[in-house]
Structure 1
Amino acid sequence: MTQHIKTWSLLILLPMLLIIVSLMIGSSQNIGFGELFHHIALEFGLSEDKAGFQESLHTILWQVRLPRIILTFLVGASLASSGGVLQAVFRNPIVDPFTLGISSGSAFGAALAMLFPIMAVNISAFIFGVIAVVITYAVSYAGAKTSIVSMILAGMIVSGVFTAFLTVLQYLSDPYKLQAIVQWTMGNLHTASWQKVHTAVFPILIGLLVIVILRWKLNLLALGDHEAMAVGVNPLWLKLILMAVATMITASSVAAVGVISLFGLIVPHISRMIFGPNNHITVWVNISIGGTFLLLIDDFSRAVMPFEIPIGVFTMIIGAPVFIYLMRRNAINWNS
């Protein structure tokens, strides 16, 4: 019981601590612990002492860093949760939003809206993310059933097709829009704002809430359709709901910050390695570790070098060695 309390305390306190640290560091100016809490006290009316107050630093904290931190945590939590859900639904450890074509479809939709502003970027990203999943399912559907292997293969093909379409859009773009699209496809957090937070927060929070509510049913899907039906759960409808939710939060994330490749594959594995395969627990773990890990990577991208490296590049540079280390250390058998 004591170990259980310690685990949950760590999952709550670690993100909160990193959020505070993230407010203190940045490429523009690092601030001290006391100075940060002085600005927090002024912001919430807990202090009227304006000695040493800097309007520029106040703007950096609350208009630049805070929305970026919130958006980064939301995106990390949503991508990790989406990957964990899809791995449970398809009972396959190599499935993630990119594998099924969701990320590529959403990326194409967002780029299309950036090039031809007929509709909002997030709406276009969601629509084409859904289209990609529907095409993947339709291609793999045969004989009144869908094979997991065939769906993964179909997803890889659909992902490749939408990536090719995205390349065509880049070829047709003028130099200014091309630069924006290329930067965006590598993961773009330096344009984070309160407007992007407001656009992404509701679909992501609603999707995460649905996943949390249905988290115990993920274990039933992981056992198989017959086992799920034996306890009165309709696996078809449950899979459709969870796939729709995974698509929604992935598309919202892609529309907000661009493509962050393989993050939804790595983090669920890390959660399973550390906390085991019980989805009743790992759903919460994916939210905590996913948001914390992406925020940590973003801190490196902001503070380590004088110029900012796209977050998608840092995700693979930092995430891949961590994943390999944990895999070798734990020697996890994915069939267990």
Structure 2
Amino acid sequence: MNKVNRTAPSVKSRDSIVAGTLCGLPIILFFVSLFLGRFSVDPLTVPQVLAAAALESIPNFPLSIPHTWPDVVDTVILKVRFPRVIAALLIGTGLAVSGASFQGLFRNPLVSPHILGVASGAGFGAALGIILSGETWVIQTFAFSFGVLAVGLTYTLAKIYKTTPTLVLVLAGIVVGSFFSALISLLKYMADPYEKLPAIVFWLMGSLSSVKAGDLMFLLVPIVLGTTVLLLIRWRINVLAMGEDEARTLGVDTARMARAIILCATLITATAVCFSGVIGWVGLVVPHIARMIVGPDYRKLLPLSAAIGASYLLIIDDLARTLTAAEIPLGILTAIIGAPVFAWLLKTKKVGWS
């Protein structure tokens, strides 16, 4: 008995150390990603470039950092890598938090942020924007609009039935997702095979190569807003994960909470998809990894999922732009890595709520 008592705190302490380390990992990866790439940059130069840019942005600030590096370094770090790194951190965080929240809401470990059709809807919108215009802002606007529309159709279709609303939502999401997937195939069939079709295919596979500094605010506000709300109500997701009857017994308005979670997760996912394309597996695998470390308590699970999701997608993006001469689409790498990891979780029986 004494041996068990000595072992349990040790395991708990080890898990706390691992969780704390993972929460600090995005900060380390942020700086590593800025000097990592085909254009070599001295790691010690990166903080100087960031500090110099920050000081120059302050009007009439008396201090400045001597500019001892080539101008091309400023371009590479501030205009190319910095927006991309921030986008990867935001999108990875948002997808992981959305996936964990949906898994709690639907009480299903196989649920991902795309379950309600947002990815297929956004994909159709982006494909339509590529065919009609090709301008980046048109593609992003169409992708976001149709992603939200797809979830709206899913929710409207599910309201037809009065029983098992979470199950009906999942089934309605499959129906709507399949419908928009068919429309995507139709657009690909009609698209110009030399220009439009390759652009559609590449966009659907996911990439952060088109993210610019001016996009960050449009990416930052919706993802931070949706993620913050989900983090604030994460203790209620614990109650929802127990089941609707138990949640009502404890005084939780399940319908209202479900709407809030769906709204926030849809806002996050639609924003992420319209800037990065369809990136799978992040919102499915990351919550299970976090659950292995801190357990099913959403008060700890959601923050850790955010940290792991940010780190994971940033590592994937670093690999995508450095492994080969031509950039590898993110969706390919997340599937190649995510599928075996999820299979391993299934084998070790780590997929679940205990």
- TM score, norm. by length of structure 2: 0.86
Hey, what does 1:129 align to over in structure 2? 147
1:158 matches 2:168: no
Distance 1:112 1:295 in 2: 29
1:30 matches 2:74: no
RMSD: 2.4
1:269-284 alignment, distance < 5 Å: 269-284=288-303
Distance 1:223 1:267 in 2: 21
Deviation at 1:92, TM superposition (A): 0.8
| CA separation of 1:38 and 1:328: change in aligned 2, threshold 3 A | same
Distance 2:330 2:287 in 1: 19
**Equivalent residue for 2:265, pick from 246, 256, 280:** 246
Hey, what does 1:322 align to over in structure 2? 341
Deviation at 1:160, TM superposition (A): 1.6
Asked if structure 1 preserves the Cα contact closer than 8 Å seen for 2:288 and 2:351, the reply is no
Structure showing greater radius of gyration is: 2
| CA separation of 1:165 and 1:3: change in aligned 2, threshold 3 A | same
Deviation at 1:262, TM superposition (A): 2.7
Deviation at 1:335, TM superposition (A): 5.2
1:17 matches 2:36: no
Distance 1:12 1:298 in 2: 19
**Equivalent residue for 2:318, pick from 299, 303, 326:** 299
1:98-247 alignment, distance < 5 Å: 98-116=114-132, 120-141=138-159, 143-174=161-192, 175-247=194-266
Q: SS of 2:44's equivalent? A: helix
Asked if structure 2 preserves the Cα contact closer than 8 Å seen for 1:98 and 1:262, the reply is no
Asked if structure 1 preserves the Cα contact closer than 8 Å seen for 2:106 and 2:167, the reply is no
1:311 matches 2:330: yes
Unpaired segments of 5 or more residues in structure 2?
1-11, 56-62
Greater Cα shift, 296-305 or 139-148: 139-148
The AA in structure 2 aligned to 1:181 is: I
Deviation at 1:120, TM superposition (A): 4.4
The AA in structure 1 aligned to 2:340 is: P
Deviation at 1:59, TM superposition (A): 0.4
Distance 1:124 1:223 in 2: 37
The AA in structure 2 aligned to 1:210 is: V
The AA in structure 2 aligned to 1:87 is: Q
1:92 matches 2:103: no
Q: How many residues align?
A: 333
1:262 matches 2:278: no
Deviation at 1:116, TM superposition (A): 3.0
Greater Cα shift, 303-312 or 315-324: 315-324
Hey, what does 2:59 align to over in structure 1? none
Asked if structure 1 preserves the Cα contact closer than 8 Å seen for 2:296 and 2:353, the reply is no
| CA separation of 1:233 and 1:190: change in aligned 2, threshold 3 A | same
Q: SS of 2:65's equivalent? A: coil
| CA separation of 1:226 and 1:215: change in aligned 2, threshold 3 A | same
The AA in structure 1 aligned to 2:52 is: L
Asked if structure 2 preserves the Cα contact closer than 8 Å seen for 1:137 and 1:146, the reply is no
1:58-77 alignment, distance < 5 Å: 58-77=74-93
Greater Cα shift, 84-93 or 118-127: 118-127
Asked if structure 2 preserves the Cα contact closer than 8 Å seen for 1:140 and 1:146, the reply is no
Deviation at 1:253, TM superposition (A): 0.5
The AA in structure 2 aligned to 1:40 is: L
Hey, what does 1:56 align to over in structure 2? 72
Percent identity, aligned pairs only, is 37
Distance 2:83 2:325 in 1: 21
- TM score, norm. by length of structure 1: 0.90
Distance 2:118 2:191 in 1: 23
Deviation at 1:167, TM superposition (A): 1.6
